[in-house]
Amino acid sequence: MSKFYITTPIYYVNARPHLGSAYTTIAADILARWHRMKGEKVFFLTGTDEHGEKVAQAAQEQNITPHELCDRNSAKFKQVFDTLKISYDRFIRTTDRNHEDMVAHILKDLKKKKLIYAGAYEGLYCVGCERYYTVKELVDDKCPLHHQKPITLSENCYFFKLSVFKKPLLQLIRNNDWVIEPKERKNEVLGFLTSGELEDLAISREKVEWGIPIPWEKSQSVYVWIDALLNYLSGIGWDGKTKKWPEAWPPDVQLIGKDILRFHAIIWPAILLTLGAPLPKKLYAHGFLTSGGKKMGKSLGNIIDPEELAVTFGADALRWLLVSTFPFGSDGDISMSRFYDKYNADLSNGLGNLVRRVLTLATKNKDTFLPPSVSDVRFKQKINLVWQDYEKALDDFKFEAAVGHISNLITFCDRYIDHKKPWKLFKENKDSYQKVIYNLLESLRHLAWLINPFMPGKSNDIFKYLGIESAEKKKPLTQGQKWGQVDFIKVTQGEILFPKL
């Protein structure tokens, strides 16, 4: 059985989940559901990133322990992910015992391989990002994300010999053995690697107590990014010792936002190379959601709460809107009026209206429609084409294109109704009426399959109204994709799927 293993980044536990952070996870969930639908063995990993100075500071401000803060906030992430119907297989927390133990093992291993050495680091550190910046990377002397001046930090620490990976990484990327998409992001990494020396990486911090201690020097703790990246291995149950990689390694894709590209495109593969682990098959960095033209994020105070939007639009519709309003690889400014317009156009007047129209026409006089002896070639071809385009789009992470193909089928059906006028046929030609309604019910069934990864709840509703819910759930996709073999024997009118807003 083929497999599909997918990861999202783990979310900073001291931030509230916002629409930007929900974006990566919703996209990953759509892919996970699509691959499960194809019958593949899926493992979908997400979770929370729980160590570091910021977490300790936040806990102190709230008069609670860092542990309490992490428990409370990671539970909040889980709750939001449940609301958004995220079907992860494991929710890893970097405070999980197996993760902490594994990180300690790996550090010892890297030291044994002489890839870690002691030194001192002085640099410009942004507390908001929990990372050092070079002068070149600052904008007007300020952190480009937080618009705050970084502080100068000087401390004893351990370094990881990242510099030795410059050449191998360049070669891997150029040969497409380390696949970074979309191509703008690949070029960005190549540009960075070729623009100067790749410096060794400070991987420990003094005085940060809320972190995983360096096993041989407990006064230091491991840099949060090293800790965090390793979740991808502990999250699938690797203990850091055996050389047998878990079945779910390597991932087929690691989805990230473009802000954390360098960590994932340079530091992460370097660690994997030292461990002798195969590299992920693909790293895909999507664009930013912006609000008022600025990256949506806690520190800029422009966040949109995904739970509120799920109340307004419903979780299913929100998932659809979020991935279809602009292409996945690009940035997109989120505006509520655009969401309302798109909701009304695609869902209320589009899919919802079509379902209502067909079910009303079908249930007016009877509730049973059997396949005609000869199936409609035009419909059969149309459906096959839609599936082909849709699959290609999803395999290329073009969610907006996949949604476009679904919408195209909806328009095709609407035009078919206008053209055939089944209400007239009912009076004039019962046989034709029967065939037309059958084609439309069959199209709704296909639409329910097609929207399933995006809107699992609404997909089920359509199956239910068509009276085929349990039968369709048992089918493999290849069976579901066939045209004209289902008997509709208990069609009901159902409820309005997407009330107008």
* Chain positions contacting ligand MSP, by CB under 6 A: 9-12, 15, 20-21, 23-24, 49, 228-229, 231, 256-257, 259-260, 288-289, 295-297
Task: Name the residue among 228, 9, 226 with its Cα closest to residue 115.
Answer: 226
Instruction: Give how far the C-alpha of residue 268 lies from the chain's centroid of Cα atoms, to the nearest Å.
Output: 19
Q: What are the Cα distances from residue 358, in Å, to 354, 436, 494? A: 6, 10, 11
Comparing every residue's Cβ against ligand MSP, the nearest one is 257
Q: Tokens for 250, please give them.
A: 């390597």
CB nearer to ligand MSP: give 232 or 463.
232
Q: Which residues contact 309 (CB under 8 A, 6 or more apart)?
A: 19, 318, 339
Shortest distance, CB of residue 266 to ligand MSP, whole angstroms?
13
CB nearer to ligand MSP: give 87 or 302.
302
Question: What is the Rg, in whole angstroms, of the alpha carbon atoms belonging to the chain?
Answer: 26
Q: Tokens for 318, please give them.
A: 């929100």
Shortest distance, CB of residue 355 to ligand MSP, whole angstroms?
31
3-state secondary structure 123-176: EEEECCCCEEECHHHCECCECCCCCCCCEEEEEEEEEECHHHHHHHHHHHHHCC
Give the H or E element holding residue 469: helix 469-474
Shortest distance, CB of residue 68 to ligand MSP, whole angstroms?
20
CB nearer to ligand MSP: give 328 or 387.
328
CB nearer to ligand MSP: give 257 or 480.
257
CB nearer to ligand MSP: give 255 or 486.
255
Number of C-alpha atoms within 13 angstroms, CB side, residue 250? 19
| DSSP code, position 254 | E
CB nearer to ligand MSP: give 329 or 467.
329
Phi then psi for 21, rounded to 5 degrees? Answer: -75, -30
Shortest distance, CB of residue 129 to ligand MSP, whole angstroms?
9
Shortest distance, CB of residue 27 to ligand MSP, whole angstroms?
9
CB nearer to ligand MSP: give 234 or 443.
234
CB nearer to ligand MSP: give 24 or 452.
24
3-state secondary structure 408-461: HHHHHHHHHHHHHCHHHHHHHCHHHHHHHHHHHHHHHHHHHHHHCCCCHHHHHH
Residue 333, beta-bridge partner list: 290
Residue type, 228: A
Shortest distance, CB of residue 41 to ligand MSP, whole angstroms?
24
CB nearer to ligand MSP: give 94 or 459.
94
Shortest distance, CB of residue 268 to ligand MSP, whole angstroms?
8
Between CA 335 and CA 337, with CA 336 as vertex, the angle to 5 degrees is 95
Q: What is the DSSP string of 321-349?
A: HHHHSS-TTS-EE--HHHHHHHIIIIIII
Return the sign of the alpha-carbon dihedral for residues 86, 349, 403, 40: positive
Shortest distance, CB of residue 389 to ligand MSP, whole angstroms?
26
Number of C-alpha atoms within 13 angstroms, CB side, residue 426? 11
Shortest distance, CB of residue 235 to ligand MSP, whole angstroms?
10
Shortest distance, CB of residue 380 to ligand MSP, whole angstroms?
40
CB nearer to ligand MSP: give 231 or 348.
231
Cα–Cα distance measured from residue 484 to residue 58, given in angstroms and rounded to the nearest whole number: 59
CB nearer to ligand MSP: give 269 or 297.
297
Q: What is the DSSP string of 261-314?
A: HHIIIIIHHHHHHHHTPPPPS-EEEE--EEETTEE--GGGT----HHHHHHHH-
Shortest distance, CB of residue 231 to ligand MSP, whole angstroms?
6
